[in-house]
Structure 1
Amino acid sequence: MNAAAPISPARIDLLPDGTPCAPDYGDVYHATAGAFAQARHVFLAGNGLPGRWQGRERFVVLETGFGLGNNFLATWAAWRADPQRCERLVFISLEKHPLTPEDMARVHRSSEEAALAAKLVAQWPPLTPDLHALDFEGGRVQLLLVFGDALQTLPGLQAEADALYLDGFAPARNAELWSAELFRRLARLVAPGATAATWSAARAVRDGLASIGFAVERAPGFGGKRDITVARHAPRFVPPRPAAWRPPHAGPRHALVIGAGLAGAAAAHGLLRQGWQVEVIDRQATPAAETSGNPGGLMHGIFNAPDSLHARWFRAAALRTARLAAPALAQGRVSGRLDGFLRLEPRLDEARARAQLATVGLPADWIDWQDAAAAAAFSGLPIGIDGGDGCGGWQFGQGGWLSPADWSRHLLQGATFRGGLAVQHLRRENGLWQALDADGRVLAAAPVLVVAAALGSPALLQDRARLSLAPVRGQTTVLPAGWPGLRVAPSRLRPLSGQGYALALPDGRILTGATTQHDDPDPQVRAADHRHNLQRAQRLGLVEANAALERIEDLAGRVGWRAVTPDRLPLAGPPVDEAALAAAAAAGRQRLDALRLRPRRHDEEGGLYLLAGLGSRGLASAALAGEVLASWITGAPCPVAADLRDAIDPARQSSARSPGGRSSVSPSTERS
């Protein structure tokens, strides 16, 4: 699912009887007899639900055509009403033309499931060409919305669907969504024993299902239709799994995570959401006591034109973090604000910025350009930011800042934390990973191990992984409330960045910085670094140009080291087995250009995973990276497209070369 065309919202009209229709397709969204009645008769009953999900750990539905969302609401309502329901329901739905938030609210004002519809409307995402995860019932019901053309987005999905809801507009009006190519792309997503149902009884639909191994039947129709189509996957031949496929963990759902900073907390969070028992250990007595202990940090996406792999990852990650953090921020459990962030761009003018926005086509509620006056008004800083007459910048509507320590502790809720345990060695014995101290004593053990020890990860993994992580020193500066030379009251300052950054903490102090220093192991807070941070704060417009800098050594600050990868993307997944990789490359009998084909340590030893390299954007990346990692481990549908998972796969740092002698394909160009 590579960079896609901008999303074009649906147009909705209402027929005289109130039935919603799509004028661009000349078709209605559901039968006049009622959307929920149709959903229950065609899609639920046609797929043997709720009976088929009963007693299951997880049940996955894949729908072609989200439309108004009534099939999802009806399925969610049935799940809620079933005392024998599965532990987790995942509903994946594709939609090329999603509704605007206003239209979603309008069409659900009189919904048969008004309470559930209101929760869906409240979470409706920005219309960006991404995979959006919406959580309900404490995460036990998840809606994965894939905005974009189905033929383009299906190859990027990583899931096994237990039930297919085929619900596009009529084949005569929307032939692409019923084409032979679409069925071929659905085929690899079908779980053993899957079922399918659709209101259409067209020959092309029945032939399409039969072509991918479904036994197709007619069933009594609904809403004036004589027949509908139901089917069960019963292929005559089951091809072997592709070489890249690796079975999920099948043993006890228990994991040990080493490291309780942002990475370890995110790994725990991802597994907890899948119903796992998670133990987290750290050498410090409390979570987030090292670099993740800064009082604040920026959280936002990035923007490139054209839409790059990096931009797509950080957009998806920031959207996910904003959604997960919103309740905690509202309840005061996490300090921060995510109601807007400004990234100054002195090299851009209005015309060039607007041209870039038009190229990518992202909605204004996600990103918009602010000229110098608007940027100053938004940030709370006077005109003149970044020198001269000022400059404009990108406003990220859901960006802002979070307390890394608060956020880490929030992600750890539900895990067992044990501090003051310095792990020196790892050992696998009797099916368990053991964390050992310097004297060889077992500190903790579990069948699945996640190493999330930041810069300490390579030493723990030793020859089990080939990692490239660089330590980058950063020092922050905290300006006390009322500090002389400030050009803005802290209560008016909005989080922003340019050459440096600034954000206002809840107690009236202002956090600014941070330095970027390579090969610098000094742990001491330095006056020279405070001076550097203040000089950049002057360029931001935060501090008067001639502000007195005496007694600068009395300012508070903090030093930490970011674990940075060469491509500035995180590492999440199982490490590569370098010895097996070298043997395969030498033999030349196995394709190694695709990352997912490379042999892993967990193939041989089982249950070894990594989450590290969050760098300077850990607040944006951590939560989604943890959920991607959890999908590796548990087999849950992956919350990002395949090329984004490849982009953060540790295999991209492995040493494989293709049979032709060239280095393996980089994640920015690799295709699914």
Structure 2
Amino acid sequence: MTPHYSPPRVAELDWSADGLPRSRTFDDVYFSPGDGLEETRYVYLQHNNLPQRWHDPGLRHFTVAETGFGTGLNFLATWQQWRQHAPPAARLDYLSVEKYPLAPRDLARALALWPPLNELSQQLLTAYPLPTAGYHRLSFDQGRVVLTLMIGDAEHHFQQQDSQVDAWFLDGFTPTRNPDIWTPELFAAVGRLSRPGTTVATFTAASSIRKQLQNTGFETRIAAGFGPKRHMLHGEFIAPPQPRKARWYQPPAVIPPQRVVVIGAGIAGASTARALAERGIAVEVIDRGPAPGSEGSGNPQGVLYVKLPAAPTPQSRIHLTGYAATLSILQSLHLDPEIWQPCGVLQLPPEQREQQRQQTLLNSGHYPEQLVRGVGQAEASALAGVELNHGGLWFPSGGWIAPAKLCARLLEHPRISSCFNAEVTHLERADATWQLYDRNHGLLTSATAVVVACAASSRAFTPLSGLPLKSIRGQVSFGDSTNAPPLNTVLCGKGYVSPPHQGRYCFGATFTLHQQTPELLEADHQHNLDHLSELSPALGMALRQQTRLEGRTGFRCATPDYLPLAGPVAATDAFTAAYAALRHDAKSEPEQAPPLLEGLYVNLGHGSKGLVTAPLCGELVAAQITATPLPLEQELIPYLHPARFLIKDLKRRAI
């Protein structure tokens, strides 16, 4: 399986004399020249019968899927009606695809045409993501409304979805001008994601579209079109649900639990708890430390940026999706500067080969300059505020985070309760629930669903003892910033240094696999100083003159491939028996649902990239537990699945 990747292209617009946007690529309008907002309400809301369907007081979740995000007008109109008609505890998942995303300035100009939507428009503009390919999840109204904006081909992204859709908005430019979006493969995906009762509406009444909808399983009807359009289509799915092809990495079929226990209050556990709470689940968080983020997430400053390859890989796509997810979460939390500083990140090449790699990356066209651009030595020095020896890559949206404070903020939710100084040492299944015991065999709590997010110590639990996790020691150093040059941005190379905070610099970090010493080591301070001097000779010289450096030691939890483990836990013996055919044919794809330990999930192994991957994995695990839309493409799930090493071992006959 070769994961799909298509670099994004920002929409090119022309503007009419009365201020309406028109696609230069498709020579077509984004909405009716008469009244685009009323057109949306008529075509998509009225003909999907949405406000009426939302009046059900028992409604808990509803999913709308759209084939062309465009200016976001359909989304904003749906959000406005959801606020007015849906039960307060219900959640709207809005899935939308856009191959040619609008630039922020064009989006703002288009949305200014609709004053009744101004409040919602401003929130969308504030949260609007970088134009990078893949999934962007934006949360509004404290998680009550979630937009998953998928940048790329509609056909591909809906083939990658596995969630049940309640209403379809088939939008996009007219079929005669944009035939590539109205493909049989897209309609096949629409049918697979629908169930009896799923509705559809589209502005077009083209016979080819009507025929494809009918072939897919929809009973269609023609209605009067809006404004100058004579007709439109709407309908309802009446065919039986299509069976899903079984895969070893598919999420379990679940009935969402009312309560979940999360073990661990670091960035992985806190992110998972928050994602579950925003889906209406009560969460109890248990941690052996005295406060959130007191272990692996305890460094005073962590760097948020992503190291990109010249050509995207599955691993880099996961990291880039995670980077976007973390930025979105940080924006939605409205954090103060003591927690999050978007000061930008300079990635400086430590050697000539890295300089060449960076140039290849910039020339590739895979990444928009809003994400990363090259800067010369003079501009890099001006951005940093200190003299640098060379330029590098500039990530304007990156910065530094106080991880423990972020963990505490994530846990501030009315559906989350936390218990600290409580160590879970035994995890046992009994009477369809998981029992959590302390070292004195006292029962701490029990639940039908548990997420383990306590790093390498999770291997002490019998069901998780076979997970391939390793502990990697890391030491950061702290230096007094009083007499040192000021720094405006994060610098990264072989090491990193953050702008001074509370009177000191934080820099490092070592990466020692076979060293478990918790005490600070002078040799590691010197190692960190050497790397700091490579980044900024002036800073390195100033901090070397200090008589004594402070610091902190932590232990990263990593996997053999340095990607995290996120998802349901396999029942090892039954799982290996189910997929034993892989021992004889590594290319076979056995179509059997995976044998899993019911109700047990993990979010582990983030290594040094936890700020990028842990929040995304928290969203992933929460989506699997609640059977809600996934936060990234289905083809990337195998690279995160906890059972992937069992599959690898079967293919190479190691088990």
What's the TM-score, normalizing by structure 2? 0.93
Matched-pair contact (CA < 8 Å) for 1:50–1:85: no
Q: Does the C-alpha gap of structure 1 residues 596 and 437 become closer, same or farther in structure 2, counting only changes over 3 Å?
A: farther
- The aligned counterpart of 1:81 is 84
- The aligned counterpart of 2:339 is 335
Matched-pair contact (CA < 8 Å) for 2:45–2:78: yes
1:566 to 560, 564, 575: 560
Distance 2:621 2:543 in 1: 49
Comparing 584-593 and 41-50, the one that deviates more: 584-593
Q: Does 1:301 align with 2:306?
A: yes
Comparing 78-87 and 186-195, the one that deviates more: 78-87
Q: Does 1:584 align with 2:578?
A: yes
Matched-pair contact (CA < 8 Å) for 2:260–2:449: yes
- The aligned counterpart of 1:439 is 440
- Which sections of structure 1, spanning at least 5 residues, go unmatched? 384-389, 665-672
Distance 1:348 1:595 in 2: 43
Distance 2:267 2:304 in 1: 13
Partner SS for 2:364: helix
Q: Does the C-alpha gap of structure 1 residues 163 and 86 become closer, same or farther in structure 2, counting only changes over 3 Å?
A: farther
Matched-pair contact (CA < 8 Å) for 1:433–1:447: yes
Partner SS for 1:439: coil
- The aligned counterpart of 2:395 is 396
Q: Does 1:96 align with 2:91?
A: no
- The aligned counterpart of 2:518 is 523
Q: Does 1:189 align with 2:183?
A: no
- Letter paired with 2:603: L
Distance 2:89 2:50 in 1: 11
Distance 1:544 1:146 in 2: 42
Q: Does the C-alpha gap of structure 1 residues 350 and 452 become closer, same or farther in structure 2, counting only changes over 3 Å?
A: closer
Matched-pair contact (CA < 8 Å) for 1:297–1:403: yes
Partner SS for 2:458: helix
Give 1:179 deviation, angstroms. 2.1
Comparing 158-167 and 355-364, the one that deviates more: 355-364
Provide Cα deviations, 1:226-258, integer angstroms capped at 9, x if missing partner: 3211111111x4443432455553254200011
- Letter paired with 2:90: E
Q: Does 1:615 align with 2:615?
A: no
Distance 1:217 1:599 in 2: 41
Distance 2:312 2:463 in 1: 37
Give 1:24 deviation, angstroms. 2.3
Q: Does the C-alpha gap of structure 1 residues 619 and 464 become closer, same or farther in structure 2, counting only changes over 3 Å?
A: closer
- Letter paired with 1:469: L
2:279 to 274, 292, 296: 274
Q: Does 1:126 align with 2:130?
A: yes
- The aligned counterpart of 1:477 is 477
Distance 1:84 1:524 in 2: 54
- Letter paired with 1:618: G
- Letter paired with 2:100: H
State how many pairs are aligned.
644
Provide Cα deviations, 1:169-212, integer angstroms capped at 9, x if missing partner: 11111112222222123222224421101111111111111111
Comparing 392-401 and 322-331, the one that deviates more: 322-331
Partner SS for 1:249: coil
1:424-573 to 2 correspondence within 5 Å?
A: 424-460=425-461, 462-464=462-464, 466-482=466-482, 486=484, 488-489=485-486, 492-543=487-538, 552=547, 554-573=548-567
Give the superposed CA RMSD: 2.5
Distance 1:7 1:608 in 2: 37
Matched-pair contact (CA < 8 Å) for 2:253–2:627: yes
Provide Cα deviations, 1:602-655, integer angstroms capped at 9, x if missing partner: 3xxx21000110101111211111001111111111111112322211121225
Partner SS for 2:570: coil
Provide Cα deviations, 1:371-396, integer angstroms capped at 9, x if missing partner: 2222222222213xxxxxx2221111
Matched-pair contact (CA < 8 Å) for 1:79–1:85: no
Partner SS for 1:274: coil
Distance 2:383 2:653 in 1: 46
Comparing 526-535 and 138-147, the one that deviates more: 526-535
- Letter paired with 1:435: L
Distance 2:232 2:478 in 1: 66
Matched-pair contact (CA < 8 Å) for 1:329–1:336: no
1:12-411 to 2 correspondence within 5 Å?
A: 12-53=13-54, 54=56, 55-82=58-85, 84=87, 87-111=90-114, 112-235=116-239, 237-244=240-247, 246-250=251-255, 252-326=257-331, 328=333, 330-332=335-337, 334-345=338-349, 346-347=351-352, 353-383=358-388, 390-411=389-410
Distance 2:220 2:408 in 1: 51
Matched-pair contact (CA < 8 Å) for 2:89–2:280: no
Give 1:501 deviation, angstroms. 1.0
Matched-pair contact (CA < 8 Å) for 2:252–2:624: no
Partner SS for 2:643: helix
Distance 2:33 2:214 in 1: 30
Provide Cα deviations, 1:475-518, integer angstroms capped at 9, x if missing partner: 111001335xx4x22xx342111111111342120011111111
Distance 1:375 1:512 in 2: 19
